Amino acid sequence: MFDPSSPRTIGYHIFVEPEGDLREEMQQVINSLAHTYGGPAFVPHATLLARITASSETEVIDKSRVLARNIENFSLSLGEVCGESSFFRALYVKIANPEVLHGYHNSANQMFGLTDVNEYCPHLSLFYGNISDELRREMVEEVGTRLSGSFDVSKLCVYTTPGAADTWKKIAEVPFG
């Protein structure tokens, strides 16, 4: 069972990552919040599929390639900044057009034989940590509307993710089509 307050995760994750200026802007926000509030720094990303168990990296990469063949380039837009009392959702920006990722997430679940434990919520995290509601409100106010815009997505990024966020490692980038 997944503990939402735990700073550790298991298995593999498939992310989509912003590119260009928006990526740099998001990375600066993530790094600044991590430094100021004592959380881990991580790469800006939206999770397509989490906590994948597989017998090998090769299996995850091969299935990701099959999945990516059926995906066309798409664009995601940033929405509202908010947060939850969950380590990996302490502070994030919602995807304004989540329906784009919902279909691909469902396909990924089928590909890997997984079922959602929680409702899938497309977002890009800005801060990981167990923080008070008061601090979360301050952080939302601080970040506010600083992040806006959209970004194109043309590949899946596959990570090995056992443990804490600062130990995650990208093992493949799989282009669409």
Residue extents of the structural domains in the chain: 8-175
Tell me the C-alpha to C-alpha distance, in Å, between residue 99 and each of 64, 77, 120, 175: 20, 11, 11, 21
Could you tell me which residues come within 8 angstroms of residue 94 by beta carbon, excluding any fewer than 6 positions away?
78, 79, 80, 81, 82, 121, 122, 123
Contact 16, 176 (CB under 8 A): no
Which regions in the chain score pLDDT beneath 70? 1-2
Looking at residue 123, its pLDDT comes to 96
Tell the CATH superfamily of the 8-175 domain.
Answer: Cyclic phosphodiesterase (3.90.1140.10)
Instruction: Supply the pLDDT for residue 117.
Output: 82
Burial of 115 (C-beta count, 10 Å sphere; 0-12/13-18/19+): exposed
With beta carbons less than 8 A apart as the criterion, state whether 105 and 114 touch: no
Q: How do residues 59-80 score in pLDDT, each as one tens digit?
A: 999 999 999 999 999 999 999 9
pLDDT of residue 1: 54
The predicted pLDDT at position 5 comes to: 82
SS3 assignment for 123-176:
EEEEECCCCCHHHHHHHHHHHCCCCCCEEEECEEEEEECCEEHHHCEEEEEEEC
Predicted confidence at residue 7, as pLDDT, reads: 85
Confidence (pLDDT) at 170: 98
pLDDT of residue 2: 64
